[in-house]
């Protein structure tokens, strides 16, 4: 029998070698299908999305729009102007442009603006980037505009893959070394997480090919974080239980089988809940959010599969020696130092549960008020924590041309109605200039210049007025219109996705815990944590981090992640509490026992998950930094305040009512009699 079980362990490892070999060709292609164009993030039904799609069909495809900026404090000299004119002529001679660039001087004479547009690169991002870089080599001024901003953003996203992965691995490795206090053990779950990340890349590529899901730098970055964060959490739970079983069981494979039986259902339920919560993003209108849903779900599920098959096989093959120097010998007793801390915390919650519950809820509510201090919507030029050339150019233009927009709006109208659309645009309040650019595929493109700074409230009013005046036949796009549509779509998505996530999570918890009250407590707790975490962000984003705005998608994405991931720890705690009640304990005592026995591993898991998301705070994209901060803070609040004090105190207060309307709420489970050994399940 022992020989067959060892063969089974090696067989699982061999199977994973085959899986990795099959996944390798697909994983390597994921970067080829990653897209970070505006249309890949825009809402599917937005007016600006229709503009982007229509311009792709026109002769030459999508236009590549740039702004060449020549500036000198105190005023441009005659030599500066001559240099600018010569360089612009060279650009026009070397590249097929839609119109000859014309100089637009600022009123104070400090700046010259040249608008450059070409359809030669089309929709190919590599061609666009090459076009932008070539012009930057030609001109001595700054190169900005939508295409330059897209190129700079693409370079930032491309640079995330390596640093994001290496930093995440380093953070997880450091925490695992501290938690396990072993020079070898930390390598095993970390290597398995790396395999899971590789597998998730292959599966994501396959999904893109089969179902055309959107793959962006943001979604793949978050997927990596989830694989290492959630995967390490599952590993911590499994290894903790395996260590306990090794003290009670002489053979490692038998100990692993008992560990999987004990914590497997909770891990399955938690990973399934997270995956279902992420898939709720498929109901979003935002392309970026909708694409992140399946990508994040794939990451969590791949982490679950790897941690419940590959990790057990490796641990069994390596045997007890992998825990050196703290090898759990058969028949030994574990140290209780860490558990005494959570026993003390549980005792304080159980002694005055009402006071603890009220004080904790009040603290969360007070923190949530900080959301009122969140900075306004994030502008394109504020999306980077650094200052790329395109952003510097836009800031120069904003200062030099305060009286006009520096990013033209793009109007597309049916060719038969183009003349009327042009007249309507010129007559719209807030528009200072409108010119026909090109026609094709049954549409005509009109470039409209607003008389107010880009993405200002006045320009937003102009965009809305323009859309109203043009009616349903024409569409208004361009960078400013895209930002407006992003804000509107995220507001719409929140109203749909948030209730859907709550309903799905509640349903899963009701089925798992066979109760209605306990799931309501857990969901209310994670919603409160989300509010407090966003509030802390409101207090720190501007004053501490210097962020110039709040990403419109922050509220939705942080809610989905915090609710799904926060419920994870609630499942671990409540699952153990329910097992204690089934074994005969009263709910109050069961809650304290559950906290005492699972508190240490949940705290370790929470620290790892928070640390992995905190890695995003150091990334050069404000959207990622804000998302990582809110989730990391929320996980810490959930781990050390909500699970430890609020859920425990609420369970003590409610007693058996916490399991209503299930059987545990009505009939006490029979207590273990004299001579009956009770071994409650451990998470």
List per-block mean pLDDT (blocks of 10 residues) for the chain, which spans 683 residues.
64 92 91 75 85 82 86 93 95 90 90 89 84 94 88 77 82 88 91 95 94 86 91 90 89 90 85 92 89 94 96 92 85 60 68 88 95 87 82 86 74 93 94 87 90 84 94 89 89 93 92 89 93 96 89 92 85 81 81 80 87 89 92 93 86 87 70 43 41
Q: Both 301 and 439 in a single domain?
A: no
Q: Both 564 and 661 in a single domain?
A: yes
pTM of the model: 0.85
Q: Both 625 and 525 in a single domain?
A: yes
Residue 86 lies in a domain: no
Q: Both 207 and 304 in a single domain?
A: yes
Residue 44 lies in a domain: no
DSSP assignment, residue 646? I
What pLDDT does 335 receive?
62
Q: Both 531 and 665 in a single domain?
A: yes
pLDDT in tens, 420-465: 999 999 999 999 889 888 888 899 989 898 888 777 888 999 999 9
Residue 64 lies in a domain: no
Number of domains in the chain: 3
**Distance (Å, whole) CA 397 – CA 453:** 9
What pLDDT does 94 receive?
92
**Is residue 312 a contact partner of residue 238, using CB atoms and an 8 Å limit?**
yes
Residue 262 lies in a domain: yes
Q: Both 502 and 601 in a single domain?
A: yes
What pLDDT does 6 receive?
62
H or E, element range at 508: helix 479-513
pLDDT in tens, 607-647: 999 999 999 898 888 988 999 999 999 999 998 888 888 88
CATH number at residue 402: 3.30.70
**Distance (Å, whole) CA 663 – CA 98:** 74
Q: Both 666 and 527 in a single domain?
A: yes
For residue 310, what are the domain limits? 1-33+182-334
**Distance (Å, whole) CA 83 – CA 72:** 13
Structure tokens at 111: 């700046």
**Distance (Å, whole) CA 113 – CA 142:** 10
Residue 119 lies in a domain: no
Residue 422 lies in a domain: yes
**Distance (Å, whole) CA 91 – CA 105:** 19
Structure tokens at 516: 């209605």
Q: Both 237 and 303 in a single domain?
A: yes
Q: Both 280 and 395 in a single domain?
A: no
């Amino acid at each position: 029998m022992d020989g067959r079980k060892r063969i089974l362990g090696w067989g699982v490892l061999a199977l994973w070698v085959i899986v990795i070999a099959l996944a390798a060709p697909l994983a390597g292609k994921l970067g080829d299908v990653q897209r970070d164009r505006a249309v890949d993030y825009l809402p599917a039904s937005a007016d600006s999305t229709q503009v982007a799609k229509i311009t792709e069909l026109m002769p030459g495809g999508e236009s590549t729009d740039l702004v060449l900026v020549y500036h000198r404090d105190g005023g441009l000299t005659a030599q500066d102007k001559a240099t600018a004119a010569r360089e612009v002529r060279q650009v026009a001679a070397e590249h097929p442009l839609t119109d000859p660039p014309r100089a637009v001087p600022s009123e104070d004479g400090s700046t010259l603006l040249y608008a450059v547009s070409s359809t030669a690169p089309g929709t190919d991002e590599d061609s666009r980037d090459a076009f932008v870089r070539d012009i930057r080599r030609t001109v001595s001024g700054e190169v900005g505009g939508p295409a330059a901003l897209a190129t700079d953003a693409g370079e930032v996203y491309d640079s995330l893959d390596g640093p994001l992965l290496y930093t995440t691995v380093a953070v997880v490795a450091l925490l695992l070394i501290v938690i396990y206090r072993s020079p070898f053990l930390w390598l095993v779950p970390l290597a398995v997480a790396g395999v899971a990340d590789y597998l998730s890349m292959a599966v994501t590529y396959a999904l893109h090919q089969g179902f055309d899901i959107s793959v962006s730098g943001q979604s793949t970055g978050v997927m990596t974080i989830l694989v290492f964060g959630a995967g390490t959490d599952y590993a911590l739970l499994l290894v903790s239980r395996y260590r306990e079983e090794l003290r009670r069981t002489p053979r490692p494979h038998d100990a692993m089988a008992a560990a999987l039986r004990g914590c497997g259902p909770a891990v399955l339920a938690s990973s399934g809940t997270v995956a279902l919560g992420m898939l709720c993003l498929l109901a979003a209108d935002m392309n970026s959010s909708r694409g992140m849903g399946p990508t994040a779900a794939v990451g969590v599920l791949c982490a679950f599969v790897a941690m419940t098959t590959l990790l057990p096989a490796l641990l069994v093959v390596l045997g007890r020696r992998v825990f050196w120097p703290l090898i759990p010998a058969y028949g030994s007793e574990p140290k209780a130092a860490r558990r005494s801390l959570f026993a003390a915390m549980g005792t304080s919650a159980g002694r005055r549960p009402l006071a603890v519950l009220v004080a904790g809820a009040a603290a969360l509510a007070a923190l949530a008020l900080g959301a009122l201090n969140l900075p306004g919507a994030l502008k394109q030029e504020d999306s980077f924590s650094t200052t790329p050339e395109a952003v510097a150019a836009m800031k120069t233009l904003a200062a030099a041309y305060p009286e006009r927009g520096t990013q033209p709006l793009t109007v597309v109208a049916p060719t038969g109605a183009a003349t009327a659309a042009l007249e309507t645009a010129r007559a719209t309040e807030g528009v200072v200039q409108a010119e026909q650019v090109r026609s094709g595929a049954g549409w005509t493109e009109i470039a409209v210049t607003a008389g107010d700074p880009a993405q200002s409230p006045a320009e937003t009013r102009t965009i809305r007025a323009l859309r109203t005046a043009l009616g349903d036949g024409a569409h208004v796009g361009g960078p400013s219109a895209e930002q407006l549509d992003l804000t509107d779509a995220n507001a719409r998505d929140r109203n749909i996705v948030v209730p859907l996530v709550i309903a799905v999570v509640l349903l899963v918890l009701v089925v798992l815990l066979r109760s209605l009250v306990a799931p309501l407590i857990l969901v209310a707790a994670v919603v409160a944590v989300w509010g407090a975490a966003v509030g802390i962000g409101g207090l720190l984003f501007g004053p501490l981090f210097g962020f110039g705005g709040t990403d419109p998608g922050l509220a939705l994405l942080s809610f989905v992640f915090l609710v799904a991931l926060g419920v994870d720890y609630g499942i671990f705690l409540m699952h153990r509490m329910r097992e204690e009640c089934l074994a005969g304990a009263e709910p109050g005592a069961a809650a304290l026992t559950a906290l005492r026995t699972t508190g240490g591993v949940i705290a370790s898991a929470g620290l790892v998950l928070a640390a992995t998301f905190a890695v995003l705070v150091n990334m050069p994209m404000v959207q990622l930094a804000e998302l990582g901060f809110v989730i990391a803070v929320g996980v810490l609040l959930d781990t050390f305040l909500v699970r430890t004090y609020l859920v425990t105190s609420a369970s003590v207060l409610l007693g058996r009512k916490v399991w209503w309307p299930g059987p545990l709420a009505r009939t006490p489970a029979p207590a273990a009699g004299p001579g009956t050994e009770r071994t409650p399940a451990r998470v």
